[in-house]
Amino acid sequence: MTLSSKRMLGDVLVQYGFLEERGRAAALAHSRTRGTPIGRACVELGLLSPLHLWQALALHTGAPTAHLDGRELSEDVLALLPARLAFLYRCVPLAVEAGPRGALVLAVDGPRSPAMLDEIAFATGRRVKLVVAPEDALWRALRRSYPADGDRGCGFNHVVDGYFELEE
């Protein structure tokens, strides 16, 4: 599942009443200027709360949602996904479905490419299923689950505003 949709997120935001047309135009302009996704542009401009963006992304993609704050994540499940890939693709492994080849359930903050899913499936030896989580909660879960100084050190110094800095 790539969490894709034929409709543009801006259209979904207007259709479901999250934004007015004027807000969408402002967000698109901000998105183009800053090179950020339209959802993040809406939050940066104060047009949407992170919670409303999360709800809109779930409607946009048709994916289930996941709450990450306060959720205990299994060390066994975390060990399936190398920290490098978790940070690179902004995803957190939540569970493995039952069965000998059960799918790995990953929390993400928006649509992902088929190439990303293929790389994670190859690295873990499992099919991948995605759920949507709020971006800020996803970053907190990544930092909590893959500490840079831990046994599974990821090669990143720290994350700032959704971006990570590589170690020298």
Distance, in Å, from the CA atom of 108 to the CA atom of 51, rounded to the nearest integer, reads 14
What average pLDDT does range 42-63 have in this prediction?
87
pLDDT at residue 5, rounded to an integer: 57
Find the DSSP H helices in the chain.
Answer: 9-15, 21-34, 38-44, 50-61, 75-78, 83-88, 114-124, 135-145
pTM: 0.73
Is 78 a residue whose pLDDT tops 90?
yes
CB proximity list for 129: less than 8 A, separation 6 or greater: 1, 97, 103, 104, 105, 106
Is 97 a residue whose pLDDT tops 70?
yes
Per residue in 117-166, pLDDT (tens digit) is 999 999 999 999 999 998 888 999 999 998 863 434 444 444 444 444 44
